Amino acid sequence: MKGTVVISCLLSLLLLQATAEEEKVEDFISALRDRSHIDETLRLATEDKSGDYAVAIENLRRIYHSSIKPMEQAYKYNELRQHEISDGEITSKPMVLFLGPWSVGKSSMINYLLGMQDSPYQLYTGAEPTTSEFTVITHGEKIRSVEGIVMAADSSRSFSPLEKFGQNFLEKLVGIEMPHKMLERVTFVDTPGIIENRKQQERGYPFNDVCQWFIDRADLIFVVFDPTKLDVGLELEMLFRQLKGRESQIRIILNKADNLATQDLMRVYGALFWSLAPLINVTEPPRVYVSSFWPYDYAPDTSRDLFKREEISLLEDLNQVIENRMENKVAFIRQHGIRVRIHGLLVDRYVQTFKEKMSYFSDPELVFKEIVDDPDKFYIFKSILAKTNISKFDLPNRDAYRDFFGVNPVTNFKPLTAQCSYMGGCLLDKIEKAITNELPALLSSINSGKPPGLTSCEATGCGEKPKNRYRKN
């Protein structure tokens, strides 16, 4: 009898414990924030026009390889700018880069946007500095992690140039692939938090150079702060110097805003602007988004409606980048083509000036040293502005060519008049045609919704002999 009573009591206790656990789970689930607005704002349920996108990408790749890359290789542009465009970069998805101090919620924000909380592959978060790697989250057929050495060795990816930062960095580079509708359209990059009391050399790799590589390729840059980390140190100041010229892509995020009362939040908002004002030298201040980006519900008695609107506004910015990804790629390749063209014209002018100044008894090294030390004396840059429709603001630094020709002797380069062939045409004509006709036509076809087809010459074949407008009659 006593045994039956004991068993009955134990069963009742276990039942009560199970009920309590179920209630805890229900409370936990109810505390999770509704994510339906993310799918709605980013239109993840709509079908992506991958067919038209693939055709446009292939046309863009063809234009780059046939019209821009030949001059890029002939005049070694990559050694001037250290930016080689690969097929992986042309075909890559838009990149969203997360920067900011340590433990401000960058990794939590990515977990929230992708719904990765409590999954085996969620990004590790905590109150202490947790992310020590550069983590690239991309789309894949199945969930798996990829080592940085593998990512750099795979030429089909856009990360092969990262090998130049050394093996120590590649050990701090991690890739995560997972099947997700959002990752079919965008790639996220999580970065190590900025720690002001640690010297850059202690990281074991050039942290600022790596950040610059990702900044140069990012379509959208989220710089995240929280109310407890508003101070600006040397490493954060250096980071904002690297962001110069990319102000249109920067979005400032004041995260964990629901930890503060409304009055305190206003003071923190003002303090953030006061800290960043000396670092962002633009007439229009950057947009600051105030919310709490993590999977759980907002704290009670806070401005949850405001935070929700701010979150939706940020998601609309992200959606704009996704929808304009093809236009942005065309604009990027065209801008790159303009820089390559200017570089080719400048090298050609250096070569011509060198040949004009050389005589039978001249010392080649002394002659060219005089030219490269004082290019204005020989009207190198002014002649480019006079003969072509180039803005003086697009001209590269003069000192860069002293270093460039220090590695590449001027005698290694042919003038533009010698860069023509019967079948291939002239390098300058091809790159100018790409900049003024082919790339704008591709952009127009994308904006009008028409499928980007072949140009008339490609469809019918233009058997016209290429003209060399630089050859003297």
- Taking 70 as the threshold, does the pLDDT of residue 322 lie above it? yes
Query: pTM value?
Result: 0.79
Coil, helix or strand at residue 68: helix
pLDDT digits (tens, 9 = 90+) for 232-248: 778 788 888 888 878 88
Predicted local confidence at residue 12, as pLDDT: 60
- Host H or E run for residue 190: strand 187-190
Say which residue, 107 or 285, is predicted with more confidence: 107
- Taking 50 as the threshold, does the pLDDT of residue 450 lie above it? yes
Predicted local confidence at residue 279, as pLDDT: 81
DSSP secondary structure code for residue 471 in this structure: S
pLDDT digits (tens, 9 = 90+) for 15-27: 555 454 444 434 4
Say which residue, 130 or 469, is predicted with more confidence: 130
Distance CA 413, CA 418 (A): 10
Q: Comparing 143-147, 156-160, 258-262, which segment has the lowest mean pLDDT?
A: 156-160
Distance CA 25, CA 156 (A): 44
Say what percent of the chain tops pLDDT 70: 82
Mean pLDDT in residue range 427-447: 92
Predicted local confidence at residue 457, as pLDDT: 43
Coil, helix or strand at residue 159: coil
Choose the most confident range, by mean pLDDT, from 190-204, 282-296, 315-329.
315-329
Predicted local confidence at residue 135, as pLDDT: 94
- Taking 70 as the threshold, does the pLDDT of residue 406 lie above it? yes
Distance CA 381, CA 374 (A): 11
Predicted local confidence at residue 404, as pLDDT: 93
- Taking 60 as the threshold, does the pLDDT of residue 130 lie above it? no
Choose the most confident range, by mean pLDDT, from 44-48, 123-127, 257-261.
257-261
Give the residue carrying structure tokens 């080592």: 147
Distance CA 350, CA 348 (A): 5
Per DSSP, what are the bridge partners of residue 251?
A: 222
Predicted local confidence at residue 13, as pLDDT: 54
Mean pLDDT in residue range 381-398: 81
Predicted local confidence at residue 24, as pLDDT: 41
- Taking 50 as the threshold, does the pLDDT of residue 40 lie above it? yes
Mean pLDDT in residue range 251-263: 91
Which band of pLDDT confidence, cut at 50, 70 and 90, is reported for residue 438? very high
Residue 79: count of CB within 10 angstroms of its CB: 12
Predicted local confidence at residue 122, as pLDDT: 76
Report the Cα–Cα distance between both ends of the chain, in Å, rounded: 120
Mean per-residue pLDDT over the chain, rounded = 83
| CA 458 distance to own-chain centroid | 33
Mean pLDDT in residue range 158-185: 91
Contact 314, 251 (CB under 8 A): yes
Predicted local confidence at residue 230, as pLDDT: 78
- Taking 50 as the threshold, does the pLDDT of residue 47 lie above it? yes
Contact 189, 214 (CB under 8 A): yes
- Taking 50 as the threshold, does the pLDDT of residue 28 lie above it? no
Q: Which amino acid makes up residue 201?
A: Q
Distance CA 59, CA 66 (A): 11
| CA 409 distance to own-chain centroid | 33
Mean pLDDT in residue range 451-461: 43
CB-based contacts of 194, cutoff 8 Å, min separation 6: 99, 100, 101, 102, 233, 235, 236, 239
Structure tokens at 117: 């909380």
Radius of gyration over every alpha carbon of the chain, rounded to an integer in angstroms: 28
Pairing of strands 220-225, 250-254: parallel
- Taking 90 as the threshold, does the pLDDT of residue 203 lie above it? no
Mean pLDDT in residue range 300-316: 92
pLDDT digits (tens, 9 = 90+) for 62-120: 999 999 999 999 999 988 876 778 888 898 899 999 999 888 889 999 999 998 877 77
Predicted local confidence at residue 272, as pLDDT: 87
Cβ-in-10-Å burial (0-12, 13-18, 19+) of 292 comes to buried
Mean pLDDT in residue range 150-155: 87
